[in-house]
Amino acid sequence: MTQQTKSIITAILDILAQHPEGLSRGEISKKLINDIENKTLQRRLATLVGSSRIRKEGDRRATKYFPLGTEIEPKKDNIHPIFSNDCLETLKYLDLPLHSRAIVSYNRAHLDKYVPNETHYLPLEARARLEDAGKRADKKLAAGTYAKQICERLLIDLSYNSSRLEGNTYSLIDTEKLVVEGITAEGKIHEDSVMIINHKEAILFLVENAEEIELDPFTIFNLHNLLSQDLLTNPESCGNIRKIEINIRKSNYRPLNNPHLIRECLELLLLKARKIDDPFEQSFFILVHMSYLQAFEDVNKRTARLTSNIPFIKKNLCPLSFTDISRNDYSAAMLMIYETNNVAPMVELFCYAYLRSCEQYQAAKTALGEIDAFRVQYRQQRKQVMGQVIKHGLHGKEIEQHIGNYCQENTIEQNDKFIAMALTDLGSLHAGAIIGLGITQQQYEAWREEE
């Protein structure tokens, strides 16, 4: 047995030891640090089953693998990786058939009674724990610095998980191919592909414009427009307050129907959100109240999930990608908010999801190393010289010469490093990332056409 095979087997055993509830082959694959081919993993699992080191149950897609010995342990009631016993008891309300549950409408008091920095959905201990796990960089760094470093991984993970929670059938691997290479998976419906691409564009919008975006209607409407484009029957509904009545599937909750009141409540919840000092409380408040308000014709929860990441992106905290959250658990926690305004299950789900995201991005942080202080120090100078290149319509060797002259005129140290960074940024520049360059979209497009 080779050393590589031994490492894979050890990793599989360690993963299953942490999950006595059992995992599918796909779930095991996602948790392995190093990617291995599906057939290789299948052979390793078969070897472990054959040697009685793990246990296998089910057939085909229903197959799960368990650490050895779990079958002889007595079954314990109310054991859940996310929800406490108290929350599991609370969630039993949803076991009642719809006709036995009260029909409820939007409760304005749920929003009105929340006082920023006095009311807290997240306990102090939970907020401290999340901050300790999520801190990724010096708070003095420019907004979005950390998110830019892990941008590709964030695009893949958040696009995949947020879409998965909406029933999207793309796998993580297929999502990566679509996000990174633009390759659409075979046999997938067009809507699933569009949903993934829309997530990518919306996340890029947040990351590239981290210093400028705020928790205001302008940002929310643009975010919704990016997430919903080509998915709504009426294109005019993208980025606009809902004007029609909607119903929540499998729920007796009836959202507001008056567009004026919807806009007023959206303004109020964003105003309160901006006043919240703690980024975790701020994020959770946004997730709860934007989902509850249902301000748009569709794509409300997706908009809420991405908006809830704004506090993390701006303050260089680990983002929330909703890793390892099942669609059923998420829906149950959300239904409790809709029908009873009870946020306790969502509090537990939010904390679990954030800590899992931190674990996932810890490896990315280690691989990327420390944030380049030189890059941060000369951020504004890079933006200025990039804007000059585009305004003057420079191309080829003219660009490098202009940037070199700029370095001399502004006494920038390490000229070569600055030039290399500016050239790289120009090479990856797109229309959604020109804010701060002092140029118009028309100037950018004219420069691109001349290439």
pLDDT of residue 200: 94
- Residue ranges of the domains in the chain? 3-72, 86-368, 373-449
Angle at 328 (CA atoms; ends 70, 63), nearest 5 degrees? 40
pTM of the model: 0.67
Going from the C-alpha of 409 to that of each of 189, 351, 412, the distances in angstroms are 55, 50, 8
Angle at 232 (CA atoms; ends 226, 235), nearest 5 degrees? 75
Classify 58 in phi/psi space as left (phi over 0), alpha (psi -120 to 50) or beta.
left
Per residue in 57-111, pLDDT (tens digit) is 877 677 888 887 544 343 445 578 899 999 999 999 999 999 999 999 999 999 9
Alpha-carbon distance of 427 to 419, in angstroms, equals: 12
Please tell me if the domain spanning 3-72 has the same topology as the one spanning 86-368. no
What stretches of 24-137 show up as alpha helix (H) in DSSP? 25-31, 38-50, 85-91, 108-112, 124-134
For residue 263, count CB atoms less than 10 angstroms from its CB and return exposed for 0-12, middle for 13-18, buried for 19 or more: middle
10-residue averages of pLDDT along the chain (451 residues) = 73 84 86 79 84 80 76 52 94 94 96 97 95 79 82 92 94 92 84 94 93 94 95 92 93 96 96 97 98 97 97 94 94 97 97 92 55 67 91 90 91 86 84 80 87 71
For the record, the structure tokens of 366 come out as 């280690």
- Name residue 65's beta-bridge partners: 23, 56
- The three-class DSSP label of residue 193 is helix
For the record, the structure tokens of 441 come out as 């979209």
Helix axis angle, 300-307 relative to 151-164, nearest 10°? 150
- Could you confirm whether domain 3-72 is CATH 3.40.50.970? no
pLDDT of residue 16: 86
Q: Are 209 and 433 in contact (CB under 8 A)?
A: yes
Q: Are 236 and 259 in contact (CB under 8 A)?
A: no
Identify the CATH number of the domain defined by range 86-368: 1.10.3290.10
